[in-house]
């Protein structure tokens, strides 16, 4: 069993249900690994990075998951700031010998928000694909307008069923990441 420290916003936390209903809790059930939930609602990428650097982690932690970006967009932080925060996160993780996994921001049911999220997903993918694990949970959520409408309670926060689907989808990808890293 391995332990992963998971930092992010409300989508890590499991809002509005809480950590026990988060996709991480479901991934934990499926994999048997431990996913520590350090999600804070409303956090931007700079907030998440600050918490990563300042929260004392158990000594055995070797893996970090990071999910952020949507709140930055809502707060009108430029994409370049988000990318700088992700670059700093990767450098910090490398300096501490953590393996970093970046969870791509989810496409929402809000088309105006997606005008910024879709390009951000593309840039993150292009910039980090060769440097770290990229975890795309969108297939568990859906992409059509009807799927997105049904997936979210308020346009951006998943239903409990979708959180479960996200965790089930993520579980084998995370297990593979942890096992591959463990064989180094």
Which two three-digit tokens encode residue 134?
A: 């990229």
Question: Count of domains in the chain?
Answer: 1
Compute the distance between CA of residue 44 and CA of residue 179 in angstroms, rounded to an integer.
30
With beta carbons less than 8 A apart as the criterion, state whether 66 and 102 touch: yes
Confidence at 182, pLDDT banded by 50, 70, 90: low
Residue 15's domain is classified under what CATH number? 3.40.50.1110
Token look-up 């930092």 returns: 7
pLDDT at residue number 112: 96
137 is in which domain, residue-wise? 3-182
- Over the stretch 36-86, which tens digit does the pLDDT of each residue have? 999 999 999 999 999 999 999 999 999 999 999 999 999 999 999 999 999
């Amino acid at each position: 069993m391995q332990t992963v420290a998971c930092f992010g916003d409300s989508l890590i936390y499991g809002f509005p249900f809480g950590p026990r209903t988060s996709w991480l809790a479901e991934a934990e059930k499926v994999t048997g690994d431990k996913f520590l939930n350090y999600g804070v609602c409303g956090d931007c990428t700079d907030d998440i990075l600050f918490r990563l650097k300042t929260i004392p982690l158990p000594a055995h932690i070797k893996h970090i998951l990071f999910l952020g970006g949507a709140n930055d967009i809502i707060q009108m932080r430029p994409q370049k700031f988000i990318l700088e925060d992700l670059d700093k996160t990767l450098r910090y993780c490398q300096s501490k010998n953590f393996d970093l996994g970046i969870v791509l921001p989810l496409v929402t049911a809000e088309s105006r928000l997606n005008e910024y999220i879709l390009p951000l997903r593309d840039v993150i993918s292009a910039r980090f694909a060769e440097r770290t694990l990229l975890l795309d949970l969108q297939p568990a959520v859906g992409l059509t307008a009807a799927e997105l409408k049904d997936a979210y309670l308020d346009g951006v926060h998943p239903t409990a069923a979708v959180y479960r689907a996200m965790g089930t989808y993520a579980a084998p990808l995370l297990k593979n990441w942890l096992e591959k890293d463990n064989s180094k």
